[in-house]
Structure 1
């Protein structure tokens, strides 16, 4: 089943949607929405599973190339011990099925036997099922889709690989019901073309490392507790789990991006006093110390993630940061910093994990916060998705600055059309000029000097 147009009147009852999107038990590969609010939404919001992305997904060679570029494992002549089938709609797994028999599925077998699957409750939180859900969502996102059914295989050594991603799957009754509900919810969510700024609360947990004058990594857990507003990331060094090398700032969340910057600054002052006169350079960015990638994770509450929001954050924020990143930054990707990296959080919001640690500059920090909030409030009206092009995905992962810089004025002009731009205009304009100036941050520099923290005094400086 190909592209269909789904009128808003069908939302009144689920059966109406079902009659449009399912034909002969197959889900439509592309759905175009007719909504009363269409004039206030970007064209991008009105299409689920863009036709061009569906075409790429159906090409096995192209599909595997894209998945591998995003750091996702694919099945190539793998021996599969058991399988999972997951129905995905944007950031949610709707249903999970697992093969009942655990004997090996041999790729070279002339006759594949029939496989029986049993439904797995979404509440099952084993390490394997959590990993399966994460990979399934990542696969659908990486392929530029909004929904699809993903088949995963568990091979020898418990290695999980992606076998299939089907944008127009054959559905059982459970799947039909789940997809109808998910699409209905999405359409109803489109009735609100923007979220008021005051409803969106921001938080963050940026990381940095400390390097001794001899070039050795200082162990953060020797100076800071695991928990607290200034603490240690969970990652450990070597075999000793108590040796945690990454410092993590955890300022209290706030609806005010300016206040969040102040709280970051206060956390840095506290950390600086805590370290006393221990000689060290404080390093931030993507990977200032070999083997230790850093994140500048941004937390959101008051708004729920969908693929449209994540893609807006990728296009209008994470991709643009590549323009100014240290050349070494691309080594962080794609194991970390992959596009669309997010996690739901217990507080009811979510964490956007793609950006590196933006602590390298206060201008960068302020710009990241206000841009993230502007995007979150207005993403349904933003018009561009350059990362839909595989060549732009490659530019992001390989750090091709010029290809990305060509998009900067186009994307920024789109942001300027948002009525909320003027609320944070000073910070946003400074951030734009930073990106457009050709400045590249230097991850080998002690970032305290740019925050005017001791021992660097109060003289204001900025990177060149």
Structure 2
């Protein structure tokens, strides 16, 4: 299969083509190649089998459109920023292949900056590029710019080349299901005084470390089960941890609550970890369409809308290693064991078959905005098509029963109750 790199008279494009060992052109080739790599703004063209960084993405990514896109997704974007602490992150389809900075950053600052860069490139719709992020001393990282035809030294071109080759093979070759897939999680909860209704800080009862702990703010609690191969085993492990939580607080007049945002200004999440499988943008896109949307349909609308003003938006992900990442978009699904099991079952199903799941409409900023606005009516109309795609998967029949409670809540238009003590639902 032949590959051609199309560029607009860029020396970096020539360097990348040389590193790839493929021809490069500045005009549309007379014969359509199997794979076409578009490096920057080029003439309209497509590969016969595959196009990377298609021109449609590049044309849509003007400065004004980028500002609108990232405003919708609540990504801080300041293209005129003058911060001295800057990180440039080179990414190919969910793989961080190089990081450039002259500054010394803490582990936490670096982790957040890399997460911002990954999400920014993913939301752009591009397959590869360089993302420049400002890292302030206080506050959150800010996106400065995205370069879909980055300046490449010969060394950087040699780093990009194998990652692009691997991407081409993955896109054109049927991929086997991941072996030894591990599922993990660190769902969050909060404590509420039964009589006053006031929030009680988790630090009063739990330490930061351990399988039961509290987050950096020391207000929100979380359970941290060991990763498991089976959704049911992971759910059972969480049940045992919640029993330990109960024993720790049983003598106090407290409720254990979960959901999107049990208290104002305190959004909580149900982060899901995937192990022994690499992050790929198609995988992330499938999670956004087939996991985030069904959970969105049963969330408490008012608090879910407030939560996504802070975090938990589309494509919220944090890379832990080359074969481990954390999906951070869902709210805390600890509401009951049935929804917890359905969430893990759906996550495993998507991880196994994401190559076979069409997932495109959330890339449209106007549609994505409906999710942030909490417009469930629109997504209920899309849901039957998404469910049909899931039901067509080869292994769907093995998990029908475990998914049924989630499907039933969606069909009945019910939302979870964030005021209920989750111990009642878990039988604790």
The two structures have a TM-score, normalised by structure 1, of: 0.77
Matched, 1:91 2:103: no
CA–CA distance in structure 1, aligned partners of residues 109 and 425 of structure 2: 44
Cα distance change on mapping 1:249 and 1:34 into 2, 3 Å: farther
Could you tell which deviates more after superposition, 408-417 or 17-26? 17-26
Matches within 5 A, 1:222-233: 222-233=204-215
CA–CA distance in structure 2, aligned partners of residues 26 and 93 of structure 1: 20
Matched, 1:135 2:116: yes
Equivalenced residues, count? 403
**1:137 Cα deviation (Å)?**
2.0
**1:132 Cα deviation (Å)?**
4.3
| CA shift digits 1:150-190 (9 cap, x unpaired) | 34457897985433323234533233222211111223334
CA–CA distance in structure 2, aligned partners of residues 398 and 423 of structure 1: 35
SS in structure 1 of the partner of residue 326 of structure 2: strand
Cα distance change on mapping 1:337 and 1:176 into 2, 3 Å: same
**1:139 Cα deviation (Å)?**
1.6
Matches within 5 A, 1:5-154: 6=3, 15=18, 17-20=20-23, 27=39, 46-57=50-61, 59-75=62-78, 78-79=81-82, 81=84, 84-98=87-101, 130-152=111-133
Query: 2:283–2:351: 8 Å Cα contact kept in structure 1?
Result: yes
Query: 1:194–1:377: 8 Å Cα contact kept in structure 2?
Result: no
Q: Any unmatched runs of 5+ in structure 1?
A: 8-12, 36-45, 99-119, 237-243, 454-464
Which position in structure 1 is the counterpart of 2:165? 184
2:288 corresponds to which of 314, 317, 321: 314
SS in structure 1 of the partner of residue 222 of structure 2: strand
SS in structure 2 of the partner of residue 168 of structure 1: coil
Cα distance change on mapping 1:94 and 1:252 into 2, 3 Å: closer
SS in structure 2 of the partner of residue 135 of structure 1: helix
Cα distance change on mapping 1:148 and 1:377 into 2, 3 Å: same
CA–CA distance in structure 1, aligned partners of residues 415 and 17 of structure 2: 52
| CA shift digits 1:373-431 (9 cap, x unpaired) | 10011101112322111122101222111111111111111111111111211112332
1:221 corresponds to which of 189, 203, 221: 203
Which position in structure 1 is the counterpart of 2:34? none
Query: 2:115–2:319: 8 Å Cα contact kept in structure 1?
Result: no
CA–CA distance in structure 2, aligned partners of residues 324 and 93 of structure 1: 34
CA–CA distance in structure 2, aligned partners of residues 248 and 56 of structure 1: 40
| CA shift digits 1:313-332 (9 cap, x unpaired) | 01111122211111211111
| CA shift digits 1:248-285 (9 cap, x unpaired) | 11122111111111111121122112212311121101
CA–CA distance in structure 1, aligned partners of residues 289 and 54 of structure 2: 17
Which position in structure 2 is the counterpart of 1:431? 406
Matches within 5 A, 1:64-463: 64-75=67-78, 78-79=81-82, 81=84, 84-98=87-101, 130-152=111-133, 161-190=142-171, 193-196=174-177, 199-212=180-193, 213-233=195-215, 235-236=216-217, 244-326=218-300, 327-345=302-320, 348-453=323-428
Cα distance change on mapping 1:15 and 1:388 into 2, 3 Å: same
**1:81 Cα deviation (Å)?**
4.6
Cα distance change on mapping 1:261 and 1:129 into 2, 3 Å: closer
Coordinate RMSD, CA, aligned: 3.2
CA–CA distance in structure 1, aligned partners of residues 25 and 117 of structure 2: 22
Query: 2:57–2:126: 8 Å Cα contact kept in structure 1?
Result: yes
CA–CA distance in structure 2, aligned partners of residues 155 and 188 of structure 1: 39
Query: 2:39–2:53: 8 Å Cα contact kept in structure 1?
Result: no
CA–CA distance in structure 2, aligned partners of residues 443 and 136 of structure 1: 32
The two structures have a TM-score, normalised by structure 2, of: 0.84
